[in-house]
Homo-oligomer: A and B are copies of this chain.
């Protein structure tokens, strides 16, 4: 195992070191695309399983639409194509021949889905239509980093269709709340939420709601988004329904998604200089047992005890690290990099006392417990660790959210401390763009849509109070 660069020395390098040493992902020969390795993929699978349950509980059904989008379909909605065209990968040849129409590898599936929705939806009885898709998407990116920004990534995209604005509003907020709950309960992540500014919203949306986490380097990271698409796509794709009163009406739509970026989010929000800290709920391995022995006789007895622990904890994800040729110290460090929440050490003396050492990854605390009480101790500890990771992240977020009243103060806080900065904004895209050009900070979400104070840049009456941050 190589040295991991400390966060304080070079956060970006620390991130890449963790991805490599925790065996999350690898580079590939394809520019900007990563290979997700077993440990990294297991994290994503656990996220999927949890979120898929929440999606299904909301009555949303999974489907699968084609990877390719005919160019003419993508171009049907003006704002949407302007947003995505520069990032597209284009298939021009298939089966040895040049295609009559180019195919775009989906950057998102609104257009390919909604063309079909216009066939599926005729009457108010067909609404709401609630579907979701787990899929890969491709957006050509210039600067990439494993998980955080890759040309190809994995995600889920929910797409729903409603009779009216109220239905779409409700669903956009339901999806947002589902993400907030998932972030808190499973990822142990507190998030800032609210609407995006028009400049930052999804291409083609009426409005975009976002969940924003705070990385340990003080930068914001968008974790999930939910869009009320209004009737924009209904008009472009001719999706109308006959109402109870027999009138032909445009449908209202939403879309919402999270991606493998969440794996990167976990790293930058929970990690420390020793490596990952996996929230127990989605940890691929919740408990690792490291047997410590001097000779073969020790080994047999200790491995037997370890197997008994695995059996006592059969509802949990427990692994025994019985590799030969590695010192216990090396193993400890490796499992710490991988962020396994609890490590059990069982040595000959522990075994004599029918006990073992229980080490927590989050606090580095070690305590001795009897082997026979592990089946009650471990579940409680896992819950404690889950809660503690959330509390730590929440405290960090609170400590790094600051209110400012002037542009000077804004720039000082941004440079010296980072984090979320609450400030007044007049609502003009000019001021928003100028602040971004001068400071690299963007509006993450709108806090209050009310007159509060003054715009930090132009000094006009603030129409909105917003959170700024430098972002991933």
Contact = CB atoms under 8 A, between A and B. Distances in A.
A66 B35 contact: yes
Interface in A127-157: 131, 135-136, 138, 140-142, 151-152, 154
A62 to B, nearest CB: 5
A64 B86 contact: no
Contacts of A310: none
Given A26-B116, A68-B33, A95 B62 contact: no
Interface in A36-67: 36-38, 41-42, 44-45, 61-67
Given A38-B62, A70-B29, A135-B136, A87 B93 contact: no
A151 to B, nearest CB: 8
A92 interface: yes
A112 interface: yes
A461 to B, nearest CB: 41
Q: How many copies of this protein are present in the complex?
A: 2
A73 interface: yes
A180 to B, nearest CB: 26
Interface in A64-104: 64-70, 73, 85-96, 103
A61 B89 contact: no
Contacts of A93: 88-90, 92
Given A88-B94, A96-B86, A152 B61 contact: no
Contacts of A154: 64
A376 interface: no
A321 interface: no
Interface residues of A, number: 54
Interface in A159-185: none
Contact of A138 (B30, B33, B67, B116): B67
B62 A30 contact: no
A34 B136 CA distance: 16
A242 B92 CA distance: 43
21 contacts: A28-B65, A29-B70, A29-B73, A30-B69, A33-B68, A35-B63, A35-B64, A37-B63, A41-B64, A44-B64, A67-B105, A67-B136, A86-B95, A88-B93, A89-B93, A89-B94, A89-B103, A91-B91, A95-B141, A95-B142, A136-B136
